[in-house]
Amino acid sequence: MIGLEHFLVLSGTLFCIGLFGALAKRNAIAILMGLELMLNAVNINLVAFARYVTTGILTGHVFAIFVIAVAAAEVAVGLALIVAIYRDRISVNVDDFDWLKW
Amino acid sequence: MIDFALHNAWLIPLLPAIAFVLIALVLRPLPKASAFVGITAILISFVLAIHVGLGVIQAGDQFVEHPLKQVVTWFEMSGLKIEMGVQIDPTSAMMLFVVTLVALLVNIYSLGYMHGDPGFSRFYAFLALFAMSMLGLVIAPNLLQMFVFWELVGLCSYLLIGFWWHKYSAREAAKKAFITTRTGDFGLLLGILLLQINFGTLDLVALGEMIPNFQQYTNLTFGGLTAIAAILFLGPIGKSGQFPLHVWLPDAMEGPTPVSALIHAATMVVAGVFLVGRTLILFKTVPGAMAFVAFMGGFTALFAATIAITQTEMKKILAYSTVSQLGYMMLALGAGSLTASMFHLMTHAFFKALMFLGAGSVLHAMHNEANIWKYGGLKKKMPITYWTFLTGCLAIAGIFPFAGFFSKDEILLVVKEASHGAQFGGLYTLLFWMATITAAMTAFYMFRMFFICFHGEPRDKSFHPHEAPFSMTFALVVLSVLSVFGGFVGAPWVEHGFGYYVRLGEFHHPQVDPVIIGVSTILALGAIFLAYWIYGKKAISHEALAQKFAPLYKLSFNKYYIDEIYLWLIHNILDGLGRVLWWFDITVVDGIIDGVANTAKVLGSVLRRVQTGKLQHYALVLFAGVVVLVIIMGFADTTSASLSLLGGVR
Amino acid sequence: MVMNKNIFHSALFMLITFLGVAAVYFMLHADFMAAVQVLVYGGAITIFLVFGIMLTIRGSMKETNLFSGHAALAGIVSLALVVVNAVMVISTNWSVTGAEPPEETVGSIAELMLTKYVVPFEVAAILLLVALIGAVIIAKEVKKTS
């Protein structure tokens, strides 16, 4: 029988895969993809709790939908940023982006 | 009007302050307007001061014991309450009158003297600032306010000595004056702090009541109070040019002559005398300090007089004469007489301001040629200056009926009386004879200068001296009238004269001692005659005299090498000590500081690499931190760790 | 997905991942969520990212999605987080209700959205609008005036 723990472990693992992608990749778009995976993992968590812990109350679902909306906005803005940076630097390689250092 | 003046005496210093601000901020490009504003302000102050004086006289001796005080709290904390305000009593009223009068006359005089100077407006601004400071000082009801204004007049003195700052000597003299007086001020501040600590107040009236019975209020010993008095006296030593801190005053003559007249003869330098007069009760309580003051005064008087005999610059002679006369005032205070000291202060202000302004007039005519041996025969060319200067010389020599006669004899009298006292009688007897000799020497060097400058034939034909303009002679005439008649306010035959108002303790009607009068007058006349004999008639060659007493002459001419001794001390002792400390600073202190700085620098250059500027690195570290935190919390307490994973939702 | 060296292939694998997540939603009896997942992630966001790839990568798609120098460290941290998370989840005693889930969720979600969460709902709408405008402005070509 598949229980809550399985979903939680799955979502945690998915989160870490996304994290790994976001931390280890060079391509900015790949990092964006990693972020999407992390958000998806969060959504799984929310829905899993809605299913097992607060059965019948769908606040978790509503929350997940908001997360999806925010994720959509984030992707749009993030891609716009990448395109803008790309236009400036002709690169999407984050190793070239070190503006945080003066 | 009198009532208004009495209760609004704070206006007197305020008006010059306003004038200063106005001139400094608005009127600087307009010299005429600046002078007008400055003179108007001090004129109104003068009128107010006269009314204050009239009010005090009308009130009789009411204000002597109970001064009219108006104070506002400046700041307050536990154990310390500092007030600012006005204290009107006969002494401060007299000072207000003298200061505003001399300031007014000097302001008017400067119209002519400073005419065409590029710093004309600046000069008037400083004069106004000085008047404000000095007036604030004399009406101060407590020692702290006095100290504040005391330092302000020191600042003005610095600014005005260095008024012609493009001259090297003027700059140096300004610095010398400031630093020397500051040396004394250090002691003054220390004394004030000690008084505050021990008595809990700086109010003059309160201190006057507490100090005579100081054992009731404090656990000070007699010696402790003597030490406080001696430390406090350091301030007046510096400010009033007493030995050994007198060195700045002759150099201060680098300033414009009206400044010398106002600040370094008539008003600021007497601030020290005034301060001792204000705290005289403290000195009276401890006879040791009293004798110290008297000795310093008497010694300075004689010491400066011996220097003045050989000097060759008019203003230098007058400066040493000022030092000598200030010594006189100190001597009178040391003999316990506020009356005699303040009386001499007032008459001295008149005739010394007169002589300085006269000297300024001569310098003006001689295009700032300072050496008196270049002068001569000015009598015909400058009659007004000649006659006014003569009254000044007679006044300072103490010839009846000029002002100096009364005040000087009063001082000699009180010193004589003090010598009959139980304690230090011998010392006061010695001081009495020193003062008498000083009086004779004063007459001699004054008339030496007088004869050299005004009589005989012009020694240098290249000059074409001319009489000063009206604005300058006006001040001379007013001051010479006061020098002639100013002494009568304290004459022995006046029932309620000067001494009735300005006094400490019981009123003693001034006695007449025919011996003192006779001796001092004969000595003065003899000295004048001797001066005439040598310098007027040239019966004895002064060069031959100088040759005959060459070592003494050199000693006096070089001012006892005091400046050289100071220089040697500073060069060898102070600089040597400084070099040791410099080495300590450079190697030890800087070593530590540099070590700390280098450590930070090395650490920084290592830790700098952490800041890669790459977001991924930061995120990596962040998540590593999350892992570590979660592990820590998980092993500490499982439930709280799961809480952290759930983001706090239970 | 993350191991692939070709960014375009990565994007395709990501699509598969999204669909997998949709399947997970089905398993959780969240039919509406599954539908939204397929539509938004499987449709919109994947397309979005592909557009992004097309705009920024020129030439060969090979070797476009490499690891950076600190991949090993990132891997260690991620793995550690996986392990820690798993340990925590398993060691925690969850208060599972055990009740049967509702058959369909759309109606309830709609009710919640338009009653209790109506304000966040509207705010989310505004957020999307703002993001749209912002993205347009950021991505717009900057005219070099100077």
Average pLDDT over residues C28-41: 88
Residue B388's nearest CA partner among B412, B352, B422 is B352
pLDDT tens-digit readout, B280-297: 888 888 888 888 888 888
Residue A19 contacts residue C81 (beta carbons within 8 Å)? yes
Q: Nearest CB to A61: which of C2, C33, C81? A: C33
Residue B476's nearest CA partner among B562, B386, B565 is B386
Measured CA to CA in angstroms, residue B100 lies from B127, B150, B245, B485 at distances of: 11, 17, 27, 19
Contacts of residue A47, Cβ cutoff 8 Å, sequence gap at least 6: A60, A61, A64, C25, C28, C30, C33
How far apart, in whole angstroms, are the C-alpha atoms of residue B42 and residue B267?
15
How far apart, in whole angstroms, are the C-alpha atoms of residue A94 and residue B619?
13
pLDDT tens-digit readout, B417-462: 888 877 777 888 888 888 888 888 888 888 888 888 887 777 777 7
CATH architecture of C1-68: Up-down Bundle (1.20)
Assess C9–A contact: CB distance below 8 Å, yes or no: no
Would you list the domain boundaries of chain C?
1-68, 102-146
Greater pLDDT, B375 or C39: C39
With H, G, I as helix, E, B as strand and everything else as coil, classify residue B73: strand
CB pairs under 8 A between A and C: 220
Assess C68–B contact: CB distance below 8 Å, yes or no: yes
Report pLDDT for B636: 65
DSSP state of C97: -
The residues that bridge with B75 in the sheet, in sequence order, are B82
User: Best of C66, C83, C92 to disrupt the B interface by mutation (most B CBs within 10 Å)?
Assistant: C92
With H, G, I as helix, E, B as strand and everything else as coil, classify residue B74: strand
How far apart, in whole angstroms, are the C-alpha atoms of residue A25 and residue A34?
9
How far apart, in whole angstroms, are the C-alpha atoms of residue C27 and residue B415?
119
How far apart, in whole angstroms, are the C-alpha atoms of residue C78 and residue B622?
12
Average pLDDT over residues B173-184: 88
User: Per the structure block, which two tokens stand in for C127?
Assistant: 């957020």
Cα–Cα–Cα angle for B3, B8, B12, rounded to 5 degrees? 120
**Contact flag A58-C64 (C-beta cutoff 8 Å):** no
Contacts of residue B461, Cβ cutoff 8 Å, sequence gap at least 6: none
Q: Nearest CB to A23: which of B612, B613, B620? A: B620
Average pLDDT over residues C3-19: 87
Strand B68-77 versus strand B80-88 pairing type: antiparallel
Measured between beta carbons, the chain C residues lying within 8 angstroms of B641 are: 88
Residue B269's nearest CA partner among B116, B406, B150 is B150
Report pLDDT for B473: 84
The residues that bridge with B69 in the sheet, in sequence order, are B87
Tell me how close the Cα of B608 comes to any Cα of chain C, in angstroms. 18
Burial class from Cβ neighbours inside 10 Å (0-12, 13-18, 19+) for residue B336 reads: buried
User: Per the structure block, which two tokens stand in for B335?
Assistant: 């003999």
The residues that bridge with B87 in the sheet, in sequence order, are B69
Tell me how close the Cα of A101 comes to any Cα of chain C, in angstroms. 18
Most confident of the following: B210-224, B225-239, B464-478: B225-239
Average pLDDT over residues A7-32: 89
pLDDT tens-digit readout, A34-68: 999 999 999 999 998 888 888 878 888 899 999 99
pTM > 0.95: yes or no: no
Assess C28–A contact: CB distance below 8 Å, yes or no: yes
How far apart, in whole angstroms, are the C-alpha atoms of residue C25 and residue A48?
8
**Torsion over CA: B148, B152, B157, B162 (sign):** positive
Measured between beta carbons, the chain B residues lying within 8 angstroms of C78 are: 623
Assess C96–A contact: CB distance below 8 Å, yes or no: yes
Count, residues in chain B: 650
User: Best of C78, C95, C105, C108 to disrupt the A interface by mutation (most A CBs within 10 Å)?
Assistant: C78
pLDDT band at C142 (very low <50, low <70, confident <90, very high): low
* Helices within B366-402 (DSSP H only): 378-381, 383-397
